[in-house]
Structure 1
Amino acid sequence: MNVADEKLTIELSMAELREITCFAVTCAEPALAIFEREHPDDRRPRAAIDAAQTFVEGAKRTKAIRDNAWAANRAYQETRDAGQAAASAAARAAVAAASAAFLHPLAKATQVLHILGPAAHAARAFELDACDDHSVGAEYIEKAEDLASPVVVSVLTRYPNAPSGRGRVGALVRDLDASLRRLATDR
């Protein structure tokens, strides 16, 4: 994609944005159990998921979603710095789920992370919780593929392919991206 293409916008309705956020929440929420096992009194990642869910259910996109995402991001950083990799990845999934509500209609590969990042971070949390067993993450990505509605796939295919890099989470994003794009061409 050239620089001029990056200025293109994607058609994106509020209903589609809610569907993307629903997918993000559905993918990220199961990983919260990992975070909450380590930090049962820390509600920041759960609050980010709850704020995103409120948007899914028809509320407006508000500063509360961003504020809760920032708070969950601090939980992610704190657990990362404490060496709690699985809990950190779970908190990051919650941050990503709340961020999905703010998917931008810009034709940039990085926007794919708003759509698929929650699933990839959750998959990584499950991998790390299983002693870095990559097959656990691959299985979760397959589950996420099944959770993606036709609307999610349609919106995804309007964007460029997922970006390179970003370590294991990036690889999980690209795996899910490729499988959902194959679904789109098979339909």
Structure 2
Amino acid sequence: MPNESEPSQPGDSAIELSQDELREIAGFAAACARAVLPVFEQDRPEDPRPREALDAAGLFARGGRRTAALRQSAWAAYRAAREAASPAAAEAARAASHAAGAAFLHPRASAHQVKHVLGAAAHAALVAELLSGGDEAAAATVLERAHRDAPPAVATVLGRLPAAPPGGGRIGELVRALDAALRA
């Protein structure tokens, strides 16, 4: 889901977050989500919303502006997930939504921001797991690739944030696994 306005929690403090770091994170998230976009497009070939969200995230990552249209594309991809016929297609659309939403990461030290950095990768990993019939090794392979391909800004920004919080079901588990790997 795109980054919503989250209330500050006691102890949250401001962190440094440059435009270049946001661009690298958005580009990383878009690459993770783009890998599973065909799953959504096979399910709903007439629905361009996840692709449009990824295109908008890519444009931002290459130097475009952070605009209301970018945020709206993230929400549109999120809505597309609710209309997908299969769970894997829905997760692929959610990955696209998180990719576009990554541009709106808040500059504060909140554990919940970790999902905004790693959510696209976690949803992409869940797509692989679902397509494999529930084989967790398929998700682990996607997370290993995300770990390998993450640009320096991903680990740098995660280092300014608390570790990923507990909860969040399977997506939360996948976010925590990737978070731990990137911090190691």
TM-score bracket for the superposition, by shorter chain length: over 0.9
Distance 1:63 1:130 in 2: 37
Structure 2 unaligned residues grouped into runs of 5+: 1-8
Q: Tell me by how many angstroms 1:149 deviates.
A: 1.7
Match of 2:158 in 1: 156
1-structure distance, mates of 2:49, 2:25:
21
Alpha carbons 1:34, 1:129 under 8 Å: kept: no
Q: Which one of 20, 30, 33 corresponds to residue 28 of structure 1? A: 33
**Unmatched segments (≥5 aa) in structure 1:** 183-187
User: Over aligned residue pairs, what C-alpha RMSD do you find?
Assistant: 1.0
1:10-21 alignment, distance < 5 Å? 10-21=15-26
Could you list the structure 1 runs, at least 4 aligned residues long, displaced by more than 6 angstroms after superposition.
none
Provide the identity percentage. Answer: 53
More helix by share: 1
**Contact 1:162–1:173 under 8 Å retained in 2:** yes
2:4 aligns to what?
none
Which of the residues 49, 58, 76 maps onto 1:53?
Answer: 58
**Number of equivalences:** 176
The offset of 1:21, in angstroms, is: 0.6
Q: TM-score, normalised by structure 2?
A: 0.93
Q: Quote how far apart the aligned CAs of 1:4 are.
A: 3.9
CA distance in 1, matches of 2:129, 2:56: 26
Question: Where in structure 2 are the equivalents of 1:121-140 lying within 5 Å?
Answer: 121-140=123-142
TM-score normalised per structure 1: 0.91
User: Within 2, Cα distance between the matches of 1:87 and 1:100?
Assistant: 20
Q: Distance in 1 between matches of 2:125 and 2:23?
A: 22
